[in-house]
Amino acid sequence: MFERLKTMLVKEFTQLLRDPKMRFITFGVPVFQILIFGYAVNTDVKHIATAVCDLDNSVRSRELADRLQQSGYFDIVRRVGDQREVREIIDRGQAKAVVQINHGFEDAIRGGKRAPLQIIVDGTDPNTARIVLAYAVTIAGRFSDQILVERQIRSSGIIRPTGMVELESRAWFNENLESRNYYVPGVMAQMVLIVTMMLSSMSVVREKEIGTMEQIVVTPIRRWEFILGKTVPFAVIGYINVAIVTLVAAFWFDIPFRGNLIFLFVATGLYLLSTLGFGLFISTVSRTQQQAMMSSFMFTFPAMLLSGFAFPISNMPQPVQYATYLNPLRYYLYIIRGVFLKGVGAAVLWPELVGLLVLGAIILPFAVRRFRKTLA
């Protein structure tokens, strides 16, 4: 009873693997994407180009500048002696941050007064600016603490215990806070979406476009045989992508995989219901492959932006947050990160699984029903 389905699958795989473009999209693009997110795209802020405008030119001021440099976060690229140069350095982008130490800095410290220190950051990219400021605050604070300790030693010769709060910070799941750990597994969600939705819809529309559909509709092939024949190959490729991304992430980038592989595959299956459903839907509204591709992009971009892949959902306005519940990517991305970094499974992630199941159970039957009308 599965003969026609088998025939369809043999044909689809033969066509897929024969086309060099498709081979590249299937196997090359995922690797390419991981490399981009693994190496190139990085939200870690280190080695910020910094200029120092030291108007005090004292031991203390040089010591502070040295501290900044030693931290590894600031690279002092320019030293200027004139305030007027500061603006130009920022305008030209020669430095992202300028630290200004005013005349009298050392005297103020010695005299037990407040010694002002100014940092100017390029706020064009607010995220980076915020991180730079946080680093500067920490370094200045430590410097201040050290002065306090030195003063105690000088005045009394001993370190008296003072009531100070010491923060012991630990980041769970991603101990070194590396952004690649966050982004690389997410590539899988993106790849599966693109491959299953875009390629499956294009594959159906291609048959309409080149006229082979006309021949197919006069054969006794059943609708479900045709639909499965058009979706199963892309589901398989989706799984291959998941495998490629997992392997490269774990063994090349040393991204921890703490969860259960089988759980990930089950979750992928639920995700596929939605992505293939959307793909099938697109194939019913598109007449040419180009239309199918454009429709897929129109879906992919908002889906990516509103998935929490790069921008946290909790920062979005409330109505938009509600809208993300309709986005299968949102659930799958949360699952992937949970499985990779946290090592949690169905006990924790069941709401996301249910979300995917419900979406799939709505979209897929809807698309299948629409599909009949276009076939006739």
**Contact positions toward other proteins, by CB under 8 A?**
3-4, 6-8, 10-11, 14-15, 18-19, 210-221, 376
In this complex, which beta carbon is closest to other proteins, that of residue 171 or of residue 376?
Answer: 376
Paired with 97 in beta bridges are: 50, 121
Smallest gap from residue 215 Cβ to other proteins (A)? 4
Pairing of strands 97-101, 74-80: unpaired
Nearest CA among 110, 99, 34, 93 for reference residue 64: 99
Dihedral sign (CA 310, 248, 278, 356): negative
Identify each DSSP E strand in the chain by its residue range. 48-54, 74-80, 97-101, 117-121
CA dihedral 120, 124, 127, 131 (to 10 degrees): -20
In this complex, which beta carbon is closest to other proteins, that of residue 274 or of residue 289?
Answer: 289
CA atoms within 13 A on the CB side of 38: 18
In this complex, which beta carbon is closest to other proteins, that of residue 4 or of residue 62?
Answer: 4
In this complex, which beta carbon is closest to other proteins, that of residue 233 or of residue 338?
Answer: 233
Smallest gap from residue 26 Cβ to other proteins (A)? 16
Cα separation, 197 vs 231, in Å, equals: 9
In this complex, which beta carbon is closest to other proteins, that of residue 20 or of residue 351?
Answer: 20
Smallest gap from residue 284 Cβ to other proteins (A)? 17
**Pairs from 340-343 (Cβ < 8 Å, separation ≥ 24):** 340/181, 340/185, 340/249, 340/255, 340/256, 340/257, 340/258, 340/259, 341/173, 341/174, 341/181, 341/182, 341/185, 341/256, 341/258, 342/173, 342/258, 342/259, 343/256, 343/258, 343/259
Please list, in sequence order, all residues whose beta carbon lies within 8 angstroms of the beta carbon of residue 118, skipping any fewer than 6 positions away: 99, 100, 101, 102
3-state secondary structure of 286: coil
Smallest gap from residue 271 Cβ to other proteins (A)? 30
In this complex, which beta carbon is closest to other proteins, that of residue 224 or of residue 301?
Answer: 224
Smallest gap from residue 232 Cβ to other proteins (A)? 15
In this complex, which beta carbon is closest to other proteins, that of residue 6 or of residue 79?
Answer: 6
Smallest gap from residue 289 Cβ to other proteins (A)? 14
Smallest gap from residue 18 Cβ to other proteins (A)? 6
Smallest gap from residue 8 Cβ to other proteins (A)? 8
In this complex, which beta carbon is closest to other proteins, that of residue 137 or of residue 217?
Answer: 217
Cα separation, 185 vs 333, in Å, equals: 8
Place of tokens 């703490």: 258
Place of tokens 């190139």: 40
